[in-house]
Amino acid sequence: MKKSIFKTLAIPAALLVSSMTFAADTIKVGVLHSLSGTMAISETTLKDTMLMLIEEQNKKGGLLGKKLEPVVVDPASNWPLFAEKARELIEQDKVAAVFGCWTSVSRKSVLPVFEELNNILFYPVQYEGEESSKNVFYTGAAPNQQAIPAVDYLMNDVGVKRWVLAGTDYVYPRTTNKILEAYLKAKGVKDADIMINYTPFGHSDWQSIVSDIKKFGGAGKKTAVVSTINGDANVPFYKELGNQGLSAEDIPVIAFSVGEEELSGIDTGPLVGHLAAWNYFMSVDSKQNKKFIKDWQKFIGSKDRVSNDPMEAHYIGFNMWVKAVEKAGTTDPEAVQKAIIGVEVPNLTGGTAKMLANHHITKPVLIGEIQDNGQFDVVWETDGLVPGDAWSDHLPGSKDIVADWTDKLGCGNYNSKTKKCSGQNY
């Protein structure tokens, strides 16, 4: 019974595939993004980005003399289905690598599959860290590439003394806020000056929470909200901020999950001046970025479509994979895993991204203020590139742990005090 449902679901994907160029001998690339359900809003764009990148690579003559062939499946925002679809991609379609996942829970769900079958996953979204798998390459930001610099900016440049950590109730906000809380306390912020609040997915009635934030911020010290609120819930949250007259000058909100794509659905008038921390903004003025946006809008057939940070992460991840395959001379996952460490490719903000031994990459950190056209104006950026740190230095449990997948250690969870690899792969 399960099998047959499986097959019916695979039909649309198969149709999609057959409409692509069908050479006898191709390299298959898996695309594992939800095209239906709650996450479809964000993930559909990433699927399209991958199709564009693959098409461009094919125009350049493919890879190792073969054409690339995308295999698109729809895990439908259903976490266990992610694991099933990943297995299907690797075992049945024999893909060389998979690009996919958005939420941390979906990544955690596919991780055992990738480790068992020893394939490669490129994960393009900022996440909570505390993980480094032999089979996963994290092209989004680790907490030290987004959350920590954002807090530094607010503390040093804006002079914030009181902190509201507001998030959606799941693993990414909870872990990020744990790290931030430890970091703030280490910087001398008192318990009374930190307010932590969690809300369910899709929360829409923000009246009392915004009113609490207003009261908390009325205590005479500069207050800021660090928001790990995810998805849909952001729109009513910002609307309520505007309605209750909390302006960005009084209490700025810095968001880690609100980008150009999320803003394209709302009237940004009341949001002007609120902040977001990312490693890429569409408004960044660089040659590569201009070309990328032009190609993207042409591919998707609309001048109104925006680009965002996870798209850049896929751009970097895909180019790294291509380079590593060329370096290794094969698409064999084991060889590519070795070859990719140390690979450098240009990012879209005018710098270079380098794959590190812990499977994270180097990124610049940018802080942008929301403009009334739905774009971000960069107000601050780190001096250079920040290397991604898999295990946070600010949490007691993970301070001593390092990840190094070169032959030196070959471990994602090495305790430098006890000199032991925990054996646990992630």
By the criterion CB under 8 A, which residues form the site for another protein?
36, 38, 40-41, 44, 158, 169, 197-200, 202-205, 207-209, 211-212, 215, 218-220, 232, 235-236, 239-240, 242-245, 247-250, 252, 264-267, 270, 272-273, 369, 371-372, 377, 379
Nearest distance, CB of residue 1 and another protein, angstroms: 18
Nearest distance, CB of residue 249 and another protein, angstroms: 4
Beta carbon nearer to another protein, 171 or 272: 272
List CB contacts of 277: < 8 A, sequence separation 6 or more.
Answer: 146, 147, 149, 150, 153, 254, 255, 256, 365, 366, 367, 368
Beta carbon nearer to another protein, 19 or 208: 208
What the block records as the tokens of 229 is 């609120």
Nearest distance, CB of residue 74 and another protein, angstroms: 12
Beta carbon nearer to another protein, 178 or 354: 178
Residue 132 identity (one-letter amino acid): S
What the block records as the tokens of 214 is 């207003």
3-state helix, strand, coil in the chain (%, to 5): 40, 20, 40
- Beta strands in 249-397, from DSSP E residues, in sequence order: 253-255, 275-278, 344-346, 352-354, 362-363, 366-370, 376-381, 386-387
> 323 vs 57, 115, 183, 288, 390, CA distance in Å?
12, 23, 37, 18, 23
Beta bridge partners of 354: 344
| Contact in structure between 359 and 406 (CB atoms under 8 Å) | no
Beta carbon nearer to another protein, 165 or 341: 165
> 408 vs 136, 404, 405, 411, 424, CA distance in Å?
19, 8, 8, 9, 18
Nearest distance, CB of residue 30 and another protein, angstroms: 22
Nearest distance, CB of residue 83 and another protein, angstroms: 23
**Nearest 5°: phi and psi at 260?**
-60, -40
- The sign of the dihedral angle between the CA atoms of 42, 43, 44, 49 is positive
Beta carbon nearer to another protein, 235 or 335: 235
Beta carbon nearer to another protein, 27 or 229: 229
Nearest distance, CB of residue 209 and another protein, angstroms: 7
> 304 vs 172, 175, 200, 366, 373, CA distance in Å?
30, 35, 31, 23, 11
Nearest distance, CB of residue 386 and another protein, angstroms: 23
Beta carbon nearer to another protein, 214 or 323: 214
Beta carbon nearer to another protein, 44 or 286: 44
Nearest distance, CB of residue 195 and another protein, angstroms: 11
What the block records as the tokens of 317 is 């991840």
3-state secondary structure of 192: helix
